[in-house]
Amino acid sequence: MIDPPGEDIRFIPQVFYKKMTRREKGAEPVAGSLQAAGMVTRTRQLIWTRHPPPPDRLRRAGYRVFRYPALRERILRCRDTGPSRADLENPAAPILRIFQRHARVAVLEARGHGPQDLPLIYAYLVEPAFRRGCRLLIGANGNPAANGEGRNEGGLDEGSEAPWGYPWSRERLRYLLTEGREPVVVPWQEPVPRWRRWADRLFRRVDSPTDDGPLDPEQTAAVNAGDGVVQVIAPAGSGKTTVLIHRVRELRRRGAAPENILCLSFNREAALEMNRRLERSGLAGVRACSFHAMGLALLRQEGRLRRRIGEMPDRELTNLVEKVFGPENASSRPGLTAARNLISGFKLARMVTPAQARAACDETDPAALREARLFAAYEQAQETGGRLDFDDLIARSVRLLQQDRAARHRWQARFTRVLVDEYQDIEPAQALLVGLLAAPQDSLFCVGDEDQCIYAWRRATVRRIIELDQVYPGLERHALARNYRCARRIVAASRRLIRHNQTRFRKPLRAGTARDGQITAVTCRDRPAGAALVAWLISDAVPGEVAVLARTARLLAEVRQACARRGVDSGRVEMATMHGAKGRQWDRVIIFGADEGQVPHSSSLQEGGIEAERRLFYVALTRAKERVEIIGTAGRESRFLGEAGIG
């Protein structure tokens, strides 16, 4: 064993974060029980030293020795990836395998080469070694525990890190070096051979896993994943909420207190459902809330709320737009929706203040200057009225955590385990809020599906979920493989359809049920005839079992008119746009208006959004449990029907 000189440990301070208990660290498992579970032990320790022993001495002590300049080149190649992935493998896998294969690793000459080196050393070396129970020795001149900003004597950059707004990597590095200072015996699962994994998936089958019942192999692997960042790719109907419930139960088993576990969901309804299921599973006390509720709680407890929460009234915003743009620019004035989206974009996408927005403007671009003035006028009016809008709950929480170190540490200590549902739907500011709250422990469990990313107009992007491994290179990725909602024919059609997209993970999509189900496609002479057919199809529908879905609200209005003409009660079924149907399911789904120009929509094609439109049709198909009926116009059938092998 090589121990670092004492002077190299003295500059690692105690930090403010809640320490893991011995149980959470994994220090208590008994050797016999580990052997019975097919596991071994490793001794985990992190050593950052200015004076490492010579390489030969390290090798004699059992270390695998690397030079950082050579490793750095390999790391940079791992980062040269895009959103089109051949498979689910993490691009950093060649680096991560070092720590899987070697229990002792030494990295020498880790001197700063540029501002990105400390984040690289943390993300690709220190964090993966810690999670895999290694003894890692880093030989470097730099002092990662320095409290000052700027560059330390070793050349490692310690300033604010974009887009986090504070030294994100340095604080996380300090935390892990403190946690890993003393040697701790931890359990280690030897890698399972590929043939064994395939055999388990082939011969073990579980029908419709429940919150309290057994899980299938892929779900089990996700639930039992390590304490670092875990990404779960959860296709439609794969039981993602069940996995989240079981993961919370597993975290409690590992020793996490319920009040230190945070479950974030995209909207209020999903949060309420999550709370109900947690309580039914005996997991009361865990915080489950929407992003806006989290922001509201944070700002309230930090004394940063105003008297009122809500959107600026339409009339007030209209007057503001008219005042800023003036009569001379009446033709270029944004409408209400466009104005709200513009202001929201400043807050949640660009994440800037009015002063920053104005400073970023090109003085020769009058349109950009007017938009910045509108943003400034809006914020001034909100302050005068003592009001925050819903975007402020996210944007101001992010800014507070970035700028107020004490507040950041308070909230990071409060939630040591963070779980996020529907990760594919979050926008830039929400992604920052997640990363800020999860640091420095980075016990983050993200569940989502890039194939169901359909809210691009709300700044969600499929790349955010695919390229999460560029933010957290050491993450574990698990893909759920079985759709327990949809019958076999529906699963097969949706799989054939979505495989035409390039920006996605190549992953298995299998039926988790033996039911065959039914898909039919019918073409009518025109849309009115199609709407009349839908009215006839729903005339004997059982309430609550059938839904009519369409690309736009205008198409749904055509169906309602057809129902009214024929005396059919359209209240017998639910009618929703394809976007509005997300997260819902019915026994029978009727898709109306499956024509070129509608699905895919012509405006989206002009913007290059064919893959987004294909994802939307995939979501529509997978809302059905047993039966899908697709109504289109003869000679104008959507290309998606052919891609899915329907008709």
Tens-place pLDDT, residues 500-556: 999 999 999 999 999 999 999 999 999 999 999 999 999 999 999 999 999 999 999
Whether the pLDDT of residue 8 is over 50: the answer is: no
Give me the mean pLDDT over the 222-227 stretch.
Answer: 96
The number of beta carbons lying within 10 Å of the beta carbon of residue 367 is: 12
Mean pLDDT over the full length of the chain:
89
Residue 538 in contact with residue 631, Cβ under 8 Å? no
Q: What is the CA radius of gyration of the chain?
A: 27
Judge whether 445 and 290 are in contact, CB under 8 Å: no
SS3 assignment for 143-200: CCCCCCCCECCCCCECCCECCCCECHHHHHHHHHHHHCCCCEEEEECCCCCHHHHHHH
The CA distance from 248 to 281, in Å, is 10
CB 130 within 8 A of CB 160: no
pTM higher than 0.95: no
pLDDT(115) > 50: yes
- Six token digits for residue 75: 């790391």
- CB 92, CB 471: distance < 8 Å: no
Q: Please state, in angstroms and rounded to a whole number, the distance separating the CA atoms of residues 467 and 248.
A: 25
Residue 40's pLDDT is what?
A: 87
Helix or strand holding residue 531 (H, E): helix 527-537
Indicate whether 468 pLDDT > 90.
Answer: yes
**What's residue 647's pLDDT?**
78
Residue 109 Ramachandran class (φ > 0 left, ψ -120 to 50 alpha, else beta): left
Q: Which domains are delineated in the chain?
A: 1-14+42-144+167-177 (no CATH), 210-302+393-480 (3.40.50.300), 311-388 (1.10.10), 488-644 (3.40.50.300)
532: tokens are 């009349």
Is 569's pLDDT higher than 90?
Answer: yes
* Cα distances (angstroms) measured from residue 467 to each of 79, 231, 450, 471: 10, 11, 11, 7
pLDDT of residue 607: 62
Of 452, 451, 434, nearest to 443 (Cα)? 434
